[in-house]
Amino acid sequence: MSFNLCDLTPEQQERVEVEKAAAYAVWKERNPDIKTPAESEASNYKGEMQAYFLQQVGRYRKMK
């Protein structure tokens, strides 16, 4: 299944980007050479998107 991100609304596109950033932040946190806390990147977002980022970080932390 594939999706064209250009077909999404700007808000949906931003949410996809925030999800990708959260997944990457958790990967960096788990990487023994980097070990950067995922929350340190939450300041890149404001308001609702910051809360969504932290929610997604929690979601990706549960995945192995």
| Overall number of domains in the chain | 1
Q: What residues have CB less than 8 Å from 44, skipping those under 6 apart?
A: 21, 53
* pLDDT at residue 2 is higher than 80: no
Q: Is residue 4 one of the residues assigned to a domain?
A: no
Q: How far apart are CA 20 and CA 32, in angstroms?
A: 20
Q: What residues have CB less than 8 Å from 45, skipping those under 6 apart?
A: 18, 52, 53
Q: Is residue 38 one of the residues assigned to a domain?
A: yes
Q: Is residue 1 one of the residues assigned to a domain?
A: no
Query: Could you tell me the pLDDT band of residue 38, with boundaries at 50, 70 and 90?
Result: very high
Range of the domain at 21: 9-62
Q: Is residue 16 one of the residues assigned to a domain?
A: yes
Mean pLDDT, the chain, whole residue set: 95
Q: What percentage of residues in the chain have a pLDDT greater than 90?
A: 91
Give the model confidence (pLDDT) of 8-36 as tens digits: 999 999 999 999 999 999 999 999 999 99
Q: How far apart are CA 26 and CA 29, in angstroms?
A: 5
pLDDT of residue 43: 96
Give the single-character DSSP code of 45: S
